[in-house]
Structure 1
Amino acid sequence: MCTAFYLVIAAIGTANASPVDTYVFEDEVMKIRFQALSKELRCPKCQNQNLADSNSPIAADLRRELYDLLKQGKADSEIVDFMVNRYGEFVLYRPKVSELTYVLWFGPAVLVLLAIIVVIVVVRRKPANKEKLALSSEQQDKLKQLLKDK
């Protein structure tokens, strides 16, 4: 019974294990560039993971491609341009401001501005609504009479 329990625990523990990429870098600068670019570029398959965090096969291929491009002496901008040309703007966590991304960049600010305007309009209408809800003299007398009866 105990042996079966340990076998199940061992199987569960290794089920999610994935191979770790090990790369040999010429210097510390190249290693830092690799880490920064792999965190800046998004996995094309995953919804919201960068290349460093993703375990998908495409992310492993892109990390290998990133390593090869760094070894070739490519600049960071050249590597990013290569990835964008191959996989589209989706691979960037911070897409460039262009006609296609105006909504992405400025949409939240516009929504917040609209929300502030709506709040101001609603708050300004409140006093007008209170005046409409004021009781007439007949209604006030009737209310006083009802309260006296209790």
Structure 2
Amino acid sequence: MKRWIISLLMLISVQAVAAIDTYEFQDEDTRKRFQQLTEELRCPKCQNQNLADSNSPIAKDLRHEVYRMLDKGESDSEIADFMVARYGEFVLYKPRKDASTYVLWYGPFGLLLLGLIVVFAITRRKNTAAQETPESNLDNEQRKKLNSLLDQDTDK
């Protein structure tokens, strides 16, 4: 039984080590760019992890693709454009500001402004309703009639 447990633990530890990618970079700057890009690009399969954190096969392939493109000397924007062309804007954690994403970027501010306008309108309506009395809507003749009815009621 001990032998099976030890074998299982060794197998798990070997697989964990095999999942680590090792790349040799031309310089420290390229390594930093690689780390930054793999942290900014989302894994298409995992959807909630970036390429650096994901262990999925597609993430491994994309990390290799980013490494290959950096090795060729392509810029960060060219690499991001390649990924967007292949997988859509979804792969970017920070979507670009263009006509299709204006609602995403500025929608919350618009909703906040709309909410403030609604709150202002409701409080203003309540204030004007509280200031108005039923008598303020009456003309002189109706007011006299109301006063006479109230006087008759107090006489009883």
1:81 aligns with 2:78: no
Provide the residue aligned with 1:27 in structure 2.
Answer: 27
Write out per-residue CA displacement over residues 93-129 of structure 1, whole angstroms, 9 at most, x where no aligned residue: 1222222112111111111111111221222233345
Q: Which moved more, 1:81-90 or 1:28-37?
A: 81-90
How far the C-alpha of 1:48 sits from its partner, in A, is 2.5
Alpha carbons of structure 1 residues 133 and 33: separation in structure 2 relative to 1, 3 Å: farther
Alpha carbons of structure 1 residues 23 and 107: separation in structure 2 relative to 1, 3 Å: same
Provide the residue aligned with 1:60 in structure 2.
Answer: 60
TM-score, normalised relative to structure 2: 0.68
How far the C-alpha of 1:5 sits from its partner, in A, is 9.6
How far the C-alpha of 1:131 sits from its partner, in A, is 5.4
Q: Structure 1 CA distance, aligned partners of 2:13 and 2:131?
A: 68
* Rg larger for: 2
Q: How many residues align?
A: 133
Q: Structure 2 CA distance, aligned partners of 1:131 and 1:9?
A: 78
The percent of aligned pairs where both chains have the same amino acid is 53
Alpha carbons of structure 1 residues 46 and 133: separation in structure 2 relative to 1, 3 Å: farther
Alpha carbons of structure 1 residues 110 and 28: separation in structure 2 relative to 1, 3 Å: same
Provide the residue aligned with 2:143 in structure 1.
Answer: none
Q: Which has the higher helix share?
A: 2
Q: Structure 1 CA distance, aligned partners of 2:18 and 2:129?
A: 63
* 1:97-112 superposed matches below 5 A: 97-112=97-112
Alpha carbons of structure 1 residues 5 and 116: separation in structure 2 relative to 1, 3 Å: farther
Q: Structure 2 CA distance, aligned partners of 1:78 and 1:14?
A: 36
Q: Which runs of 5 or more structure 2 residues have no equivalent in the other structure? A: 135-156
Q: Which runs of 5 or more structure 1 residues have no equivalent in the other structure? A: 135-150
Provide the residue aligned with 2:149 in structure 1.
Answer: none
